[in-house]
Amino acid sequence: MSRLIPCFIFLASLAFATQAMASDACYNEAEAHAEQLLRLHSELMVITVTCKQGSGGQSLPTAYGGFTHKNINVLHDAEQTLMGYYRQHAKGDPTEHLDRLRTILANEFGEKSANMGSGAFCETYRDRVAKMESASPSDVENEAEKMGLSHPTLVHPCGAKGR
């Protein structure tokens, strides 16, 4: 039963996000990239909260804080890009839509932890936080681009099939 609650929350959030943006709207390249940057940030947060320590004993909250601080301008720009999208294409408060997006992205990755079990999840992912803390700005941008290959955005990119 406890595994059903996060799934229900995820599905309800997804339904709301889909309904709020139910139109022919699509992401331009910058909007799609912005979502992937926020996906990366959300995934690092989930890893940090779940695992707390890297394989070498390093503090993941410290590494996550370092990543966030080092990339705050890029993350802020990504948020502003998506706020602009929500202002133009979604009903309601753009900040609420952004908050829901972050919740959906975190829940999506959190399902991995629930399905794998925290031990296996941490064994697989915990060192990613420290790696990303020391990543160069271009490495962060490249990582977000790579994520786009395996994690489609919640809103279809403009020009994608069916658009």
**Which residue matches tokens 């959300």?**
42
Domain residue ranges in the chain: 27-150
Per-residue pLDDT, 160: 64
Per-residue pLDDT, 21: 47
Going by C-beta distance under 8 Å and a sequence separation of 6 or more, which residues neighbour residue 103?
Answer: 9, 13
Per-residue pLDDT, 110: 92
Do the beta carbons of residue 39 and residue 103 sit within 8 Å?
A: no
Per-residue pLDDT, 23: 54
Interval 18-38: pLDDT, tens: 444 445 689 999 999 999 999
Per-residue pLDDT, 94: 95
Quickly count: other Cβ atoms within 10 Å of residue 92's Cβ.
11
Q: Is-above-0.85 flag for pTM?
A: no
Per-residue pLDDT, 69: 97
- Identify the segments of the chain with pLDDT beneath 70: 1-24, 160-163
The amino acid present at 129, given as its one-letter code, is V
Per-residue pLDDT, 5: 47
Per-residue pLDDT, 163: 43
Read off the tokens for 128: 């990613």
Per-residue pLDDT, 29: 93
Cα–Cα–Cα angle for 1, 153, 34, nearest 5°? 115
